[in-house]
Structure 1
Amino acid sequence: MDYNLRIVQTYSITIHTAARTLTLYRNGQRIKSYPIAVGKPSTPTPKGTFKIVNKAVNPGGPFGARWLGLSKPHIGIHGTNNPLSIGKAVSNGCIRMYNKDVIELYHLVPIGTTVKIISI
């Protein structure tokens, strides 16, 4: 009989658009919060619960160092080639992070991770 137990780490993400923060949880415990940029008023970040459905390294264009695509089409968590935009409402609905932060997040969370986006 094999008594080696594998501990499964379950990650989730909560994005507070009003506070412009992304908070990472592991097994329900807060691990870290990151500053973000969100959608501008004409293209707001959608509210709701989504899943990470794909990931990419160096996706090109304005998406910075990493891309984590959400189950909401055309919306993702990504890096930025404009770090001065972090903390502002300037995107086309996506969640922007500093490249160093999105790289860290990319390595921690798997495809299937739940992402809850709220405004309060």
Structure 2
Amino acid sequence: MPQRQIVIHRSSRQLELHEGNKVIARYPIAIGKSNTPTPTGTYSVASKYINPGGVFGSRWLGLSIPHYGIHGTSNPASIGTSASKGCIRMHNNHVEALYQQVGVGTPVIIKP
């Protein structure tokens, strides 16, 4: 089975789920504010939590860079903007779908 990976495009505020060379899902996201930017680079999913509480919405996918993750939101109007402290925000129903399709160790590539 082809390996899955998450590719985040900060410039277009899109998250793509790839399986091999094929995009199998695409979601709108919010990224970090200018003073707390989302870091570029190659990371991996390091942890997964259901209902992490607070502003993190219904799911948390922690990245291998400490204090950063892909998560839901209690503020859906922020999706499509630069609003976070560096994390990747998604609509709760989107992060729930993504959560089901990736595991710990899934590569996460964050592009400019």
Q: TM-score range by the shorter chain?
A: over 0.9
For structure 1, the residue ranges without an aligned partner over 5 or more in a row are 1-7
Cross-structure match for 1:117: 110
Cross-structure match for 1:80: 73
* TM-score normalised over the length of structure 1: 0.91
1:21 is displaced (CA, Å) by: 0.1
Residue aligned with 2:30, SS: strand
Give me the CA root mean square deviation: 0.7
Cross-structure match for 1:39: 32
Match of 1:53 among 27, 46, 56: 46
> What amino acid is the match of 2:56?
F
Cross-structure match for 1:103: 96
| Mapped partners of 1:100, 1:28: distance in 2 | 25
Which structure 1 residue ranges, 4+ long, deviate > 6 Å from structure 2? none
> What amino acid is the match of 1:105?
L
1:27 is displaced (CA, Å) by: 2.1
For structure 2, the residue ranges without an aligned partner over 5 or more in a row are none
2:4 is equivalent to residue 19 of structure 1: no
